[in-house]
Structure 1
Amino acid sequence: MIDRTCKETPDFNLCVSLLNSDPRGSSADTSGLALILVDKIKVLAIKTLNEINGLHKIRPELKHALGECSRKYKTILQADVPEAIEALTKGVPKFAEDGVIDAGVEASACEEGFKGKSPLTSLTKSMQKISSVTRAIVRMLL
């Protein structure tokens, strides 16, 4: 199921890696796979927020951009992830897609705020990739 589903996403290897790293993946249906990936978005958002908080202390010149990123990643955690989980749980994938898309948009907006000198590039690129893979799977439910 994981291989077949991941072949329909923009990043087969990332998809397989993420889903195989979760014990629920081997027995999940498409909706369950999407929920696993939404959990991965949540974990990455928490990791990124922790990184932002650490950078606040050592990179005061980036205070404004880091503050903007902090707000964007809090939006991912407080709005986008809960919206996607609720929608997938209730069988309304369109709203799940909205939340997943927004997580990628928030990450992109964070990155742009640094004007090419972002200390968060690897994390924001990861969020964009995971969001893209998750969206592809959510779209299979539409």
Structure 2
Amino acid sequence: MMMMMMMKVMMMVTVMVSEGSIIEQTCKETPDFNLCVSLLNSDPRGSSADTSGLALILIDKIKVLTTKTLNEINGLYKKRPELKRALDECSRRYKTILNADVPEAIEAISKGVPKFGEDGVIDAGVEASVCEGGFKGRSPLTSLTKSMQKISNVTRAIVRMLL
């Protein structure tokens, strides 16, 4: 009886270790291990997800960051009216991420066509870079755009694992 209980405990520990390690194993193949692990561990789906699931979690993180950035842009219109032109450009760019890139990436990964998912993820990082460049060095969105670029790079690395 005791031996049977010990075997059950050992099997449970093995399962728990292997579930937790998929995130670490996957994140080792990305350009920012710590960011990757942090983002995936912050989502309860991460511990039981396969590689496609991990990519979808990160795409969700891109969507959340996009929404946060759009809210910040909307607030800046009142505080920094002199930046209207650059803010307009950023608003267009981030709406493209939200309305085109994220849905494209989700659909592609969900349907098993990761190449198109990669395109959407890459474009999210490009859109953020173009937004940042529009401020000519005095961007109030730098931390958000840098975060988008980093998340996009990590997500792209995971999507490439599906190719």
Partner of 1:76: 97
Q: Which residue does 1:35 correspond to in 2?
A: 56
Instruction: State the superposition RMSD in angstroms.
Output: 0.2
Query: For 2:25, what is the secondary structure of its paired residue?
Result: helix
Residues 12-68 of structure 1, C-alpha deviation per residue, up to 9 Å, x if partnerless? 000000000000000000000000000000000000000000000110000000000
For the residue of structure 2 that corresponds to 1:23, the secondary structure is coil
- Per the TM alignment, residue 10 of structure 1 is displaced from its structure 2 partner at its CA by 0.0
Distance 1:139 1:88 in 2: 11
CA distances 1:53-110 after superposition (whole Å, capped 9, x unpaired): 0000110000000000000000000000000000000000000000000000000000
What's the offset of the Cα at 1:122?
Answer: 0.1
Q: Which residue matches 1:139? A: 160
Counterpart-to-counterpart distance in 2, 1:141 and 1:49: 30
**5+ residue gaps in structure 1?**
none
* Aligned equivalents of 2:116, 2:105: Cα separation in 1: 6
List structure 1 runs of 4+ shifted beyond 6 angstroms: none
Correspondence for 2:139 = 118
Q: Identity over the aligned pairs, expressed in percent?
A: 87
| Structure 2 counterpart of 1:98, from 112, 119, 124 | 119
Question: Structure 1-normalised TM-score?
Answer: 1.00
SS at match of 2:45: helix
Q: Given residue 26 of structure 1, which amino acid in structure 2 is its aligned partner? A: S
User: Looking at CA atoms only, which structure, 1 or 2, has the larger radius of gyration?
Assistant: 2
Q: Number of matched residues? A: 142
Q: TM-score, normalised by structure 2?
A: 0.87
| AA of the residue aligned to 1:70 | S
Q: Following the alignment from structure 1 to structure 2, what is the Cα–Cα distance between the partners of residues 106 and 140?
A: 23
* Aligned residue identity for 1:131: S
